[in-house]
Structure 1
Amino acid sequence: MPTVFVTSATGSVGSALCQQLRALGWGVRATTQNPDSKSAQILKEIGVELVPGDWDDEEALRTGLAGCDKLFLCLLPDLGDFNKVPARAKNIAALAKAAGVKQAVGLTTLGAFAVEEGTKPPAEYAPSPFFTQHFHAKKRVEQALMDGGFDHWTILRPGFFMANFLEPKIHMGYTEIRDNGTWTNSMTETSPLGLVDHVDIAQFAVAAFQKPELLHGRLLAVVSEEPLVQEALDQLAAAIGDGRFIKAKFLSDEECAKVQAEGGWRFFSSETCVRYMSDYTDLGELNELIGGLTAFKEFLEREKEGVKQTYLGQQGG
């Protein structure tokens, strides 16, 4: 059975991927800064081999990569230094290649399309200078895998995480939904919102690992469903179940420009390029690749304890 080295193994995508790979009987290795954390302990219980260390600890990385056949690269962005993460990706790719890894699957962002020749949105809706740097940093992460000398590589570019509506990701700029019953965003009433379930992302990674030729060389936009924003918020309110209404508040181009001028960093609160992200997705192909993509209603039902905890302050029993 193959062995996969998974970065960000304790994150939402990484943990789902570890569970799916272990269910197949595959070996899984990862580094962790805190082997005693609850998330690390859960991975240990399913047979993931954990090496203490971080992404800058070359000795830990070499130990974890030794004997691995495949690499899953998912690195959190550093919005204070756009050079740091691409440098990490290049180093990890080099260490993986030296360890004999043959295949790499990387996770970046759907927004990378917005800075590529041939896929850019209209000039008037280009990303702000700040997010242009962010997206280019993601593309440099991708390039590190493309240039890594692997036999096969695949890049997954996910849309808006369904889990952003829940703890703990809701604190990454979305607490307005919980606290005010509104979501101020840069979409429009008719713009599809490309939602993605982190479990689906893991399934696409597994599909690529199982059949390396299938998605070799692909920059694959990954979403699970594309409802309108208000439709998604209505489904969330229904799942909370206390009679509340959550209203979508759409910013005009001028309002988005004002937020950017004031130094706003929240992607869905100021970047008009998100209105065009559905141009890069193909739900038909995605369904053919793994089948049974998760609808937002299904996600909310599966994560109903998280919904209660996030919006009603109730712990699961």
Structure 2
Amino acid sequence: MTDTPTVFVTSATGSQGSSLCYELRKFGWNVRAITRDSRSSSAQALSAAGVHFTTGSWDDEAALREGLEGCDKLFLCLVPNLEDFEIIPRQAALITRLAKAAGVRQAVASTTLGCFMLEEGFVPPVTLSPLFEAHLHCMKHMEQAVIGRFEQWTVVRPGLFMANFIEPKIQMGYTEPKKGTWTTALTRESLLGLVDHVDIGRLAAAAFKDPATFHGRKLGMVSEDLRVQDAMDQLAEAIGDGRSIKAVHMTEEEVAQAQALAKDGGSGLVIASEPSLRYASGYTDLDELRRLLHGLTTFKQFLVREKDAVAKTYLN
């Protein structure tokens, strides 16, 4: 083990993981990861930045052992499968078991903001839909795989990704704004907690650099709170062709109908029809986040930074 930290990053070619990898390489830290396709453009770019990849999957114990060798820190971020909620708990248990055996002492897990609703003693203000509750329990298992199992641990719980409104993430179920509307269970006054994936990477990197400050914390992570129509107005302005995007707020009857259909839809439908998220802004502390991480990204700033992706998504 050298004096330079070595971090094993799961989902390194995804939005959160890649952002973290680039932050860690700025520090000169060693970064190790696993990929199923070392020839992908994202893996190639990360390799060029100095990330060391092992070819394999989250169920490949031999590849995980090889990837984790020499690591002392772990970033755990696994994408749930809405058709099989047993996958994430199994993979998280395997990865953390092998990480412990490899000598990892600090872990940061990134899950989802809604996990606050599963805290002991917390009573959700409304009944959770079955699919959304199953999703949250799946992510909670990932948290439990790190909480108390490492010398230092931190849980980051992101809100709705700003990147969900542009390619390629828009294909995960958020394509409705391309048609000029976005239907949501949030009310006109509800705050939509939007998060920039780059900010998640920066926050995770900050936690790795300063484990004493971040140890034992469960942080709701958003970059900006906006009312839904304000967010849609900013998106339409960034597209720049004069269109408008209208926020459509569901009635209670429409919410019930959408939830009945959500089991057959993508992640966007699951989130859009979930009324408990009307209260999610209460699970974040933006003042504290700004203290921990300077320069949180506004939605407008994100849309300017990603102007090429905005044009590709809405103008091509």
What TM-score comes out, normalization by structure 1 length?
0.95
**Residues 81-137 of structure 1: CA distance to partner in whole angstroms, max 9, x if unpaired?**
212211110110010000000100001000111232344431xx2210111111011
1:159-197 CA distance string (max 9 Å, x none): 00000000011111111111x100011111000100000
Letter in 2 for 1:286: L
* Aligned counterparts of 1:80 and 1:16: Cα–Cα separation in 2: 27
Structure 1 distance, partners of 2:169, 2:185, is 19
Aligned to 1:153: 153
Provide structure 2 residue ranges, at least 5 long, that are not aligned to the other structure: none
- Tell me which of 110, 119, 138 is aligned to 1:116: 119
**Residues 46 and 263 of structure 1: is their aligned pair in 2 closer, same or farther, counting only changes over 3 Å?**
closer
Query: Is 1:281 equivalent to 2:284 in the alignment?
Result: yes
| Dislocated runs of 4+, deviation >3 Å | 117-120, 262-265
Which is further off, 278-287 or 167-176? 167-176
Matched, 1:296 2:295: no
Q: Is the 8 A contact 2:74 2:108 kept in 1?
A: yes
SS at structure 2 position matched to 1:227: strand
Other-structure match for 2:53 = 50
Secondary structure, aligned partner of 2:224:
coil
Structure 1 residue ranges without an equivalent (≥5): none
* Residues 117 and 123, structure 2, Cα contact 8 Å, conserved in 1: yes
Distance 1:224 1:95 in 2: 33
What's the Cα RMSD here? 1.0
Please say if residues 33 and 53 of structure 2, whose CA atoms lie closer than 8 Å, have aligned partners that are also in contact. yes
Residue 98 in structure 1 maps to residue 97 in structure 2: no
Q: Any conservation in 1 of the 2:262–2:270 contact (CA below 8 Å)?
A: no
- Report the residue type matching 1:250 in the other structure: H
**Matches of 1:4 and 1:131, distance apart in 2:** 31
Mapped partners of 2:174, 2:123: distance in 1 = 26
- Whole-angstrom distance in 2 between the partners of 1:281 and 1:53: 36
Check conservation: 2:131, 2:270, Cα contact below 8 A: no
Aligned to 1:2: 5
Aligned pair 1:21/2:24, yes or no?
Answer: yes
Aligned to 2:248: 249
Bigger shift: residues 57-66 or 253-262: 253-262
How far apart in 2 are the matches of 1:126 and 1:216? 32
